[in-house]
Structure 1
C-alpha cells in the first residue's frame, strides 16, 4: 500500500483507507505522557502545579533532564511493537497545550515541543499503528478537572474569546505540521469538553473545524460531544469526513464501583445497562449514519482478584456491544503506576520505592478524583455533604451535581494541592543517576504487563466482527 492510500476517510458509517477497505480503529490512549495525570504517574493535583513544585526543588537544568527523560522513556519502539503484537492498530495521543505554547507568550508556537510528538508518531507508524492527535488540555481548560490541567474547577475556555483564539491558532499549527502524514488518522480537537451553557461549544466547534480544514483539508476530524463526550445535541447535520466520538465509562468500573452485576450509586449495572448507556451515548452517530468510535472506556482495577474478575467481565461485555455495532475504540489507558494501565511500573522499581509511601498517603486522603475514594477522610467529607444538602437543597451544578462538585473542591483542590510540596520534596538530594532511574522506571522493559487485560484485547482483535 502506498503512503497516499494510508490516509483514512469517513465513508458512511465507517472509516476506510485509500483502497476502500474498512478500517476499525482499535487501540489505547497514551495518558500520562504529553499530558500527565495524577493517578497515572502518581503525583498529586494538576500537572502544572506539580511541575512548578518540582522545578523549585531541582532547578531548571535538572528539572528538564528528568522530564525530558521521562517523556522519552514513557513510549519507545518497544511499546509500539508490543501494542502491534496484540493486534491493535491505533494510539490516541493526549496533548497538553503547554508543550507548544507558553501562557507568557500566547500565540507563539514552541517548535521544540513537537520533537517528542514527531518521535512517537513515527515510532507508531513503523509498527503499523495509526495515531489520533488529541488536545487533552486546552488554554483556559475546556472542562473542570485535573485531566485538562485545571487548578480552579472552572472551564475558562468557554468564557474568554482569548483562550478560544489560542486554541484555533494552536490547532492550525498542529494540522499544518501533520497534513501530509499518512499514519495520522486524524485530529481529536478537544477532549471531553464541558460547556456549562451548551451555547458556545457548537459555534466554536464550527469555527475550529473550519480553521483546521484550512490548514489540513485531508485528515479526519474527531469531535467529542459536550459534557465529557456524552452529549451531541449541539451538532446539526454531520460535517464531511468527521467522526463524532463518545466516551463510555461504566459506572460499576469506577474505583468506587461494583459489584458487577450489581448496584453502584443506586443504579443497577449489568450488561443490559451497559448496552443502554452505549445506545444513549451513540444516538447521534446512529441517527446520522456516521462512524462510532469510543474514544475512552475501561474499568479501574483494584488488586482484589474477585473484584478485578468482575472488571474484566465489564470490559468483555462492553467490547461485545462495540463489536455488535461495528464501533472502534481506544482503551484508557496504556501505561501507569498500577491502577488501570495495560502495562504499569514494577512495584520494585526505583520510582515505586521512592514514591510508594507518598502514593499510599494520597490514597488515604482521597486526593485523586479518579484513583481513590473518600474512605479515609469520610469523617471530614460527610459533614460537608450533609451541610450542602441541608443549606443548598436545590443546588445542582453542572456537570455532575452537588456531591461531585463538593468532592472535587475538597479532595482534588483543598486536600491535593498542598501535597505537591511533599511530592516535590521527594526529589530533593537525588543525583543525576537517581533521577534517570526514576524516569526509566516507566520504560517498557522495566514495566509489568497486565496479562489478563492484554489477553482480552488480543483475543478481541483476533475475533471477526459480530453481526448486528
Structure 2
C-alpha cells in the first residue's frame, strides 16, 4: 500500500473555512438537539432536563429509568439518521451536549467515560457518511444564561460568578480536546480493489468545538476572558481544531468583542420573530426582507470587520400542526421565511446549522408520528401543556393571556420603567422576566411530576416502545422543510 496522505483538517483562512488543500468548505447541517441535551419543547416535558430526569427516576425506579433513557439515547440518533442527513446534502452536524453526561455534581473532579461513548456514537455515525461534526457544550453548571436550555433550574446565570464552576468546564474541555485530537476516518479511493496500491486520506471526523452555547454575560467582559482562557487551554492539547465562539446575549451581540482569536469562527444565532406565533406573519414584503437583512448584518458586523468566517449556529421557524387552524398557510409562510434567510446566508457564503433535526412537531425536520406510542400516551398532557403555554419556544398565550396580563400590569404599575430597562438581557423586557419566573420555572417545575406520572408502572417492553417512537423509521419527515434544505445544498 502506498504512503498515507496527510490527515485533512479544516482550518480558518481569512473569511473562509478551508480544507487541507485550501479549498473553501461551507458547512451546512442541523443540530441533534433533544438528544444528548434534552429540551422541553423537543420531547414534551416541562421545565428543565435535570428536574424532569429526577421526576422520571422517582416514577420509574432506577432499573426502568436507566433502561428507558438508554433506549431513548440509542434510538434518537442512529446510522440511519446520518444517512438521511447525507441524502439532503448536509456535510456537518452540531451535537449539543449537556455537561451532566460528563460531570457529576457530587464529584465534579471525575470525568465520566459514558459521555464520550455517547458522543462518539454520533460522531462515528456521521463520519461513516462523510459528515463532519461540531461538539457544542449546551449547558454549564450554574447556567451560562437564563434559559431552560442551560438546565440550571434558575433564572440567573451564576456560572459567571464562580471561578470554580469555570475551572470545571475548562478542565472538561481539555479532556474533550484530548479525546478528539486526531480523531479521523479514512477515505479510500477505489475501496473494492484493495489488492492494489491505494492512497489513504485521513479526514477529521470533528470540524471543531463550540465551547459555549448562547452565553449571557451581564458584564460583557467575563465572556471575553473565558474565551481567551479556554482557547489557550484547548490549544495546549489540540492545536488544530477550529473553535466556534458564540456571541454574547444568546449569540446575538458582539458589540463588546475586541478582536478575533486565531483559527476561530464566530457564531450568530439568527431566529426571526416572524417565524413564531407571537410574530407578525411573513408575507415577503420589502420591509420584512429588509428587517431580516438588517438583523443579520448587525449580528455579523464583528466578523466582517475582523475578516473572519461567520457560522449561523441556530435559526429556523417553528411550525403549526394539523390541529391548528390554517396550519398549511402558516407553514407555507414560514417555509418562505426560511428560504429568504437562506438566500441571505448564501450571498455571504455563510456556514449554518438549522435548529432542529428531530422533535415532536414544533421545528423538526422529522418528528415523532402522532400515532406512535409516545405521542398517544402523552396526548392529554401535551394538549394541557399547549393550553397552559408552558413552552417558551413557540408559545401561544391565547388560552391564558387573561390570567397573566393582570400580573404584568401589576408589575408595570409598581416598577419604574427606568429600572426595567436596566434588567439583563435588555431585549427580554419585564414581561419575559415575569414569565420566566412564573411559568418556565415555578409552574413547569411543579408539573414535571405530572409528566413523569404518565410513565409510571410501564413495563420494560412498553418503555422500549415509547423510546422507539423516536427512531427515524417511526417518524414523519417534514418534506416542505427538507426540500428547501435539499435545494440549498444543490441536490
Per the normalisation by structure 2, the TM-score is 0.91
For residues 390 and 288 of structure 1, the distance between their equivalents in structure 2, rounded to whole angstroms, comes to: 45
Is 1:323 aligned to residue 351 of structure 2?
no
Q: Give the alignment partner of residue 258 of structure 2, picking from 211, 228, 236.
A: 236
Whole-angstrom distance in 1 between the partners of 2:416 and 2:152: 27
Q: How does 1:273-312 map to 2 (within 5 A)?
A: 273-303=291-321, 304-312=327-335
Structure index of larger Rg: 2
- Given the alignment, which residue of 456, 461, 466 partners 2:489? 461
Q: After TM superposition, give the deviation of residue 71 of structure 1 in Å.
A: 0.5
Q: Provide the residue aligned with 1:466 in structure 2.
A: none
Give secondary structure in 2 for the equivalent of 1:168. helix
Counterpart of 1:377 (choices 390, 393, 400) is 400
| Distance of 2:128 and 2:382 partners within structure 1 | 36
Q: How many residues align?
A: 459
Q: Of 369, 372, 377, which aligns to 1:346?
A: 369
- 2:9 maps to 7
Match of 1:261 in 2: 283
Distance change >3 Å, CA 448–CA 257, structure 1 → 2:
same
Q: Is the 8 A contact 2:11 2:18 kept in 1?
A: yes
Question: RMSD of the TM alignment (CA)?
Answer: 1.5
Give the Cα separation in 1 of the matches to 2:109 and 2:207. 26
1:443 aligns with 2:471: yes
Q: CA deviation at 1:209?
A: 1.2
In structure 1, the partner of 2:97 is 95
Structure 1 alignment gaps of length 5 or more: 464-468
Secondary structure of 2:66 counterpart: helix
Query: Structure 1 stretch 365-374 or stretch 344-353: which is displaced more?
Result: 365-374
CA distance in 1 between partners of 2:62 and 2:4 (Å): 45
Cα-to-partner distance string for 1:58-105 (whole Å, 9 max, x where unaligned): 111110110011011000010000000010101000000000000000
TM-score by length of 1: 0.96
The CA deviation at 1:197 is 1.4
- Could you say which residue in structure 1 is the equivalent of 2:123? 121
1:351-373 CA-partner distances (Å, limit 9, x unpaired)? 00011110110111111111322
Please tell me whether the aligned partners of residues 201 and 234 of structure 1 are also in contact (alpha carbons under 8 angstroms): no
Partner of 2:219: 197
Question: CA offset at residue 269 of structure 1?
Answer: 6.3
Q: Which range moved further: 128-137 or 367-376?
A: 367-376
Runs of 4+ in 1 over 6 A off after TM superposition: none
The answer on whether the counterparts of 2:284 and 2:337 sit within 8 Å (CA) in structure 1 is no
CA distance in 2, matches of 1:206, 1:134: 17
1:272 aligns with 2:297: no
Query: Secondary structure at the residue paired with 1:6?
Result: coil
Deviation at 1:139, TM superposition (A): 1.5
